[in-house]
Amino acid sequence: MLARPPAAHAQAAPPVRIGVLAFLGVEVALSTWSPLVAHIEASLPARRVVLTYYDVAGLRQAVQQQALDFVITNSGQYAALESEFGVSRIATLESPGVPSPSQAIGSAVIVRADRRDLNVLADLKGERVAAVGEDAFGGFQVAWREFRRQGVEPGDFARLDFVGFPMPRIVTAVARGQVDAGIVRACLLEDLARDGAIRLADFKVLSPRQVEGFACGLSSDLYPDWPLATLRHTDLHLAKAVATALLSMPVSPTGYAWTVPADYQAVHELFRDLQIGPYAYLRETTLQALARRYWPFLLLFFAALAGWIVHAVRVEQQVHARTAALRQALAQRDAAEAGMRAHQEQFDHLSRLSILGELSGTLAHELNQPLAAIANYAQSLVRRLDSGRYTPAILAEASREIAAQAARAGGIVHRIRAFARKRAAVRERRPLAELVREAAALFGGMLPGAPRIDIADRLPPGTLVEADTLQVEQVLLNLLKNAADAMQDLPPAERAIDVTLEQAGHHYRIAIRDQGVGLAPASTQHLFEPFFTTKPDGMGLGLSICKTIVEAHGGRLWAEAHADAPGMTFIFTLPADDPTT
Ligand code: ADP
């Protein structure tokens, strides 16, 4: 712990670490880059240069771990590292035999020269194809873009083998017919031929292109040459020194030099086209990827959705509450109507009883008549039986009379009972004239000395009215009774009531006219008010009940005084019957 490192070590600057992609294998790389190492070391006397060779994945890892100061790689990996780790080019390689550093890398898709059937890239559908690897730039990706431009996708091949580095393996596989075609970096074929490894004439390049200044067979566009790039952490002075050294480096024995950095935009476009490398996210369609990319829109969408849900729930609640309120209101109304109906029935019943009460005296008298007649017949029969003055004819006649009188009394009782019975309102269709005549008969039967009733029926024969017969009868009885009351002071012979039935528009009109005392105009307006009466024994309910009943039937009740004659006319209407219903 106490041992201090020797001074020389402490002062020696750390080595300059350069990572290189070795696409042709380490031996080839060594010979390619050794002049570079020598030149940098010569330019930076105090620094040692350590060159390390990697495959694509290894180089990426070294950059990620910041184990390097510089990186030399193909344009494809450079563009990827630029996007991912911010590496930044300071020089671009200037290779021999290419038009410019920005037009240096291309792909050649090669087949054996004897394959007459294969001429363009599109011919490779359904064939066996080999390439070094999916992430090889000139060795695959550049060609891939061209295949796509000709409507061929990797899936259209019968087989696509990625055989790995070194690349010349592919040329061998094509030559041996193990595959139909191979994708290689442009100029590989020419390099191999120059070394005597193959004969150029044994191969041909598909969809060949001519680019001025480019001496090799080519199936694709050309892309920038390899760059040398600094990492984010690389010391700026070191970067500047290395850049200066590179630019001043003489052309190597193999013809390589370094120049100012090229534009790598074309590489980005290729990646975007193929949706790979830094643009691989373009093909991600998983929910997660979409969420990552579109989270602000998603956020907005979910906010809107949440808003909508809250709104919908609130509306639903309101509808619920209002429906409940409405239902309650309806229930209350139904209950109120039921209550009113019950009251009305009770009221009707009471009013019928009140009429009966008013008529009771006369009713007793009415019943008395048949009873007296029956008693008379019975007594005279007894007398005749006692005295023996009887014949079968007399006996039969008296018995018939007794039976008739008893039937008459029974009829009166029956009618009164029917009238006084408490009942629910029932609507039925009845001929109106018949109904009026029955009421008149009942009235005549109840009231001895009742005025004459003349009925003028101006309705078509058999005209029906839809009504509660007993209620209408009650109205008629009331009006007839009032008319009779009004004429009490007239000599019996002059008492007469005219009842007229006629149609007026959509209504039937029933008018009851008397010649009685009439009414003072001041009292007329109170006629229909409950408890208005001018009679000592009156209750003043009749007309108000009549009005209620008539209006419940959809009609009207009013009174008219006569301009030129004594008495009054009470008129009520009932809706005309619609024969279609
Ligand atoms: P009540 O007959 O018990 O008095 P109503 O409501 O039937 O009750 O009549 C109220 C009042 O209207 C009567 O007291 C009477 O003054 C007046 N009235 C009713 N009908 C006639 C009529 N035909 N002629 C004159 N006045 C009438």
User: Distance between CA 236 and CA 519 in Å, rounded?
Assistant: 125
Quick one: DSSP state of residue 123? G
φ, ψ for residue 199, nearest 5 deg: -110, 125
Task: Specify the residue with its C-alpha closest to ligand 1, atom 8.
Answer: 540
Task: Please report the pLDDT score of residue 10 as a whole number.
Answer: 39
Residue pair 477/439 in contact by the 8 Å Cβ criterion:
yes
Cα 517 to ligand 1 centroid, rounded to whole Å: 11
> Which atom of ligand 1 approaches the CA of 523 most closely?
16
User: Distance between CA 104 and CA 553 in Å, rounded?
Assistant: 106
Task: Specify the residue with its C-alpha closest to ligand 1, atom 18.
Answer: 482
Q: What does each of the 581 residues of the chain score in pLDDT, given as a tens digit?
A: 343 444 444 356 889 999 998 866 555 666 678 888 889 999 988 889 999 999 888 999 999 999 999 999 989 999 999 999 999 999 999 988 889 999 999 999 999 999 999 999 999 999 999 998 888 888 899 999 999 999 999 999 999 999 887 889 999 999 999 999 999 999 999 989 999 999 999 999 999 999 999 989 999 999 999 999 999 999 999 999 999 999 999 988 878 889 999 999 999 999 998 888 888 777 766 667 677 777 888 889 999 999 999 999 999 999 999 999 999 999 999 999 888 888 877 777 777 676 666 666 556 666 777 888 888 889 888 988 899 888 888 888 889 989 988 988 887 777 677 666 655 667 889 999 999 998 898 888 777 678 999 999 999 998 999 998 888 988 998 999 999 999 999 998 889 999 999 999 999 999 999 999 998 888 888 898 878 889 887 778 788 888 988 998 999 999 999 988 999 999 999 999 776 55
- In this chain, the answer to whether the domains covering 107-205 and 427-575 adopt an identical fold is no
Cα 362 to ligand 1 centroid, rounded to whole Å: 19
Task: Please report the pLDDT score of residue 483 as a whole number.
Answer: 95
Note the CATH architecture for domain 107-205: 3-Layer(aba) Sandwich (3.40)
Is the domain 4-100+225-283 a CATH 3.30.365.10 member? no
Can you give the C-alpha Rg of the chain in angstroms? 62
Cα 486 to ligand 1 centroid, rounded to whole Å: 8
Residues contacting ligand 1 via CB (< 6 Å): 478, 482-483, 486, 514, 516-519, 527, 532-535, 538-543, 568
Cα 516 to ligand 1 centroid, rounded to whole Å: 11
AA identity, residue 156: D
What separation in angstroms does the CA of 557 have from each of 152, 409, 533? 97, 34, 17
Task: Specify the residue with its C-alpha closest to ligand 1, atom 25.
Answer: 518
Cα 538 to ligand 1 centroid, rounded to whole Å: 8
> Which atom of ligand 1 approaches the CA of 514 most closely?
23
Cα 472 to ligand 1 centroid, rounded to whole Å: 18
Quick one: 200 exposed, middle or buried, by C-beta within 10 A (0-12, 13-18, 19+)? middle
User: Distance between CA 552 and CA 545 in Å, rounded?
Assistant: 11
> Which atom of ligand 1 approaches the CA of 538 most closely?
3
Cα 39 to ligand 1 centroid, rounded to whole Å: 138
Give the H or E element holding residue 435: helix 432-446
Domain spans of the chain?
Answer: 4-100+225-283, 107-205, 295-420, 427-575
Paired tokens of 247: 């630019």
Cα 208 to ligand 1 centroid, rounded to whole Å: 123
Cα 118 to ligand 1 centroid, rounded to whole Å: 122
Task: Specify the residue with its C-alpha closest to ligand 1, atom 7.
Answer: 542
Pocket of ligand 1, candidates 524, 533, 548: which has the most ligand atoms within 8 Å of its Cβ, to mutate? 533
Residue pair 482/568 in contact by the 8 Å Cβ criterion:
no
User: Distance between CA 228 and CA 285 in Å, rounded?
Assistant: 35
Pocket of ligand 1, candidates 353, 476, 482: which has the most ligand atoms within 8 Å of its Cβ, to mutate? 482
> Which atom of ligand 1 approaches the CA of 539 most closely?
3
Task: Please report the pLDDT score of residue 165 as a whole number.
Answer: 77
Cα 526 to ligand 1 centroid, rounded to whole Å: 10
> Which atom of ligand 1 approaches the CA of 512 most closely?
23
Note the CATH architecture for domain 427-575: 2-Layer Sandwich (3.30)
Q: Which of 453, 439, 442 is nearest to 362 (CA)?
A: 442
Task: Please report the pLDDT score of residue 225 as a whole number.
Answer: 92
> Which atom of ligand 1 approaches the CA of 545 most closely?
6
> Which atom of ligand 1 approaches the CA of 535 most closely?
14
What pTM value is reported for the model? 0.48
Cα 454 to ligand 1 centroid, rounded to whole Å: 21
Task: Specify the residue with its C-alpha closest to ligand 1, atom 21.
Answer: 482
Quick one: DSSP state of residue 554? T
Pocket of ligand 1, candidates 543, 547, 557: which has the most ligand atoms within 8 Å of its Cβ, to mutate? 543
Cα 518 to ligand 1 centroid, rounded to whole Å: 9
- 348: helix, strand or coil: helix
